[in-house]
Amino acid sequence: MYFWPCLGSGLNWEPRSRTVEQVHLRCTEGSLEWLYPARALRVVLEPNLASARHTTVCIKPASDFQGASIYVERAGQLHLVVSEAKEARLHHVSCFSAHTPQRVALFLQASPQRDISRRTASFQYELLSNQSAAGPDFQKMALVEAMCRPCDNMELLMAICSSDFVVRGSIQNVSHDPENHMSQVEVSAQKVYRQKNRIFRQDEATGEWRGPIKTLLQCKVKKGAGDFLFTGNEHFGEAWLGCAPRFKDFNSIYQTARDRGTNPCEFQFS
């Protein structure tokens, strides 16, 4: 499991207590579930890192997020990130720059209500480096993953070294979601070389590996014949497309780089 869960209940406080409960999370990605939200909860993200390379925080509320709003603390002031009142935005990913990368404080304010039963304020979060995030929203964050252009040779070689998933396969179908400005590529995989989580799964009946990969609608991805090498990274349990050369082209590029000793890492084709 790559998400570290944290459970808390707003019923733990004394009825007249004004104390703000604090939770410290030291992972660069994870999730928090606040059961029966009441009063307030301060969540401090302080990953145990020697460097300050993680400078962007992205938050994805759960589909059943209820009972609270999320703020980020900046210079002693609170700035709204997720509002329960704006239900249309609840399922979207919100990203913001972290002024102090090694310590980011979120403030969850419970919504006034008489009946707090069956309410849960839960979300996933990721701390991203500048190379993985490029703006204040998820679409801009994904621009690096979906570059909408062919990768050059060095980008291809680096992709197999650092991507969350590396898969050889073909495109079975491409569907478009204009409302969310996204496209989804359904991949039939011949070989799964690497995957961080179980995005690509094997059909027990046929033995075939399949999985979805997302990209931006503006990339205008179309179904094409032949084998490709799909690479990219995962965000909130979804695969986002990075470099995707035709497999035979990548094979040629890699073998040339290996003969010259310029390949950044070893890649096993078998």
- CA nearest neighbour of 27 among 3, 8, 7: 3
pLDDT at 230: 94
Query: What contacts 231, CB < 8 A, 6 or more positions away?
Result: 159, 160, 163, 165, 166, 167, 242, 243, 244
pLDDT at 129: 66
Cα separation, 120 vs 215, whole angstroms: 30
Cα separation, 168 vs 230, whole angstroms: 6
Q: What is the pLDDT of residues 77-108, one digit of tens each?
A: 888 888 876 654 556 778 777 766 667 889 99
Cα separation, 265 vs 251, whole angstroms: 14
pLDDT at 102: 67
The β-bridge partners of 24 are 44
Nearest-10 Cα torsion for 128, 133, 138, 140 = 180
pLDDT at 130: 54
Q: Using CB atoms within 10 A of its CB, is residue 145 exposed (0-12), middle (13-18) or buried (19+)?
A: buried
Angle between helices 153-162 and 247-260 (to 10 degrees): 90
Residues of the chain with pLDDT under 70: 1-19, 48-55, 85-91, 99-102, 114-118, 129-147, 270
Tally Cβ neighbours within 10 Å of residue 226.
10
